[in-house]
Structure 1
Amino acid sequence: MAVPAMFAVLFLTGCIANGEGAPATSGPPSLTVQDAPASNAPLETTQASTKIPVYWIGRSKEEVYLYREFRDISGDGNPVTTALRIMMAQKPLDHDFFTPWQEPASLATSISGKNVITVDISRDAFNSNLDAGMAQRAIQQLVYTATAAASSSGLINSGQQIQVVILVDGHKDYMAFGQVQLGQPMARDASLVAPLWIIDPQEDTSLPAGAVKFNGRSTDGSKPVNWQILQDTGKGEKASLLTGQVKATGEPGQYGVFTFSATLKPGKYELRVSQADDAGKTIEATTDTRLFSVG
Structure 2
Amino acid sequence: MDARLRITALLTTSALALTLAACGEDDTATDDPTPAGGTSAASEEPSASATPTASASASASPTEGDGGSGSDGGPETTVPVYFAGETPQGVRLYREFRRVSGDPLTEAAELLTTGDALDPDYRSLWPEGTFGSVSVQDGAFVAQVDDDSWSARGGLSANGARLAAQQLVYTLQGVEQQRLPVRVVDGSGTPVALFGIDGDITQAAPLEVLALVSVSGPEEGATVGDTFTAAGVASSFEATVPWQVRDGGGEVVLDGFATAEGWMDKLYPWESEVDVSRLDPGTYTFVAMTDDPSGGEGGGPTEDSKTIVVG
> What is the TM-score normalised by the length of structure 2?
0.67
Q: Does 1:223 align with 2:239?
A: yes
- Unmatched runs of 5 consecutive residues or more in structure 2: 5-27, 34-59, 65-76
2:286 maps to what in 1? 271
2:229 aligned partner, one-letter code: K
> Deviations 1:54-108 (Å, cap 9, x if unpaired)?
000000135110000011112xx33111110111125211111101324535421
2:55 maps to what in 1? none
1:5 maps to what in 2? none
The percent identity for this pair of structures is 23
1:139 maps to what in 2? 165
1:267 is displaced (CA, Å) by 1.3
1:56 maps to what in 2? 83
> Deviations 1:218-268 (Å, cap 9, x if unpaired)?
145842111111112xxxx22211121220126995531111122223111
Tell me, in whole angstroms, the C-alpha distance in 2 between the residues paired with 1:219 and 1:239: 26
Tell me, in whole angstroms, the C-alpha distance in 2 between the residues paired with 1:188 and 1:107: 25
> Deviations 1:193-216 (Å, cap 9, x if unpaired)?
1111011112222223x1122111
> Cα gap change, 1:101/1:239 in structure 2, threshold over 3 Å: closer, same or farther?
same
> Cα gap change, 1:289/1:128 in structure 2, threshold over 3 Å: closer, same or farther?
farther
Tell me, in whole angstroms, the C-alpha distance in 1 between the residues paired with 2:126 and 2:217: 26
Within 5 Å, give how 1:117-156 maps onto structure 2: 117-122=141-146, 123-124=148-149, 129-151=155-177, 156=178
Q: CA RMSD in A?
A: 3.0
> Cα gap change, 1:253/1:175 in structure 2, threshold over 3 Å: closer, same or farther?
closer
SS at match of 1:59: strand
- Unmatched runs of 5 consecutive residues or more in structure 1: 1-15, 17-38
1:145 is displaced (CA, Å) by 0.7
2:180 maps to what in 1? 162
Tell me if the contact between 2:104 and 2:175 (Cα under 8 Å) persists in the aligned partners: yes
> Cα gap change, 1:143/1:60 in structure 2, threshold over 3 Å: closer, same or farther?
same
Q: Does 1:192 align with 2:209?
A: yes
Which of 115, 135, 146 is 1:110 aligned to? Answer: 135
1:94 aligned partner, one-letter code: D
Tell me, in whole angstroms, the C-alpha distance in 2 between the residues paired with 1:67 and 1:223: 19
Tell me if the contact between 1:140 and 1:189 (Cα under 8 Å) persists in the aligned partners: no
1:125 is displaced (CA, Å) by 5.1
> What is the TM-score normalised by the length of structure 1?
0.70
SS at match of 1:181: coil
Which of 73, 82, 93 is 1:66 aligned to? Answer: 93
1:273 aligned partner, one-letter code: A
Q: Does 1:258 align with 2:294?
A: no
> Cα gap change, 1:60/1:171 in structure 2, threshold over 3 Å: closer, same or farther?
same
Tell me, in whole angstroms, the C-alpha distance in 2 between the residues paired with 1:58 and 1:83: 18
Tell me, in whole angstroms, the C-alpha distance in 1 between the residues paired with 2:119 and 2:262: 26
2:32 maps to what in 1? 43
1:294 maps to what in 2? 310
Tell me if the contact between 1:60 and 1:288 (Cα under 8 Å) persists in the aligned partners: no
> Cα gap change, 1:40/1:108 in structure 2, threshold over 3 Å: closer, same or farther?
farther
1:100 maps to what in 2? 125
Tell me, in whole angstroms, the C-alpha distance in 1 between the residues paired with 2:82 and 2:154: 18
1:285 is displaced (CA, Å) by 4.1
Tell me if the contact between 1:167 and 1:183 (Cα under 8 Å) persists in the aligned partners: no
SS at match of 1:284: coil
2:254 aligned partner, one-letter code: L
> Cα gap change, 1:141/1:276 in structure 2, threshold over 3 Å: closer, same or farther?
same
> Cα gap change, 1:125/1:291 in structure 2, threshold over 3 Å: closer, same or farther?
farther
Tell me, in whole angstroms, the C-alpha distance in 2 between the residues paired with 1:283 and 1:247: 22
1:263 aligned partner, one-letter code: D
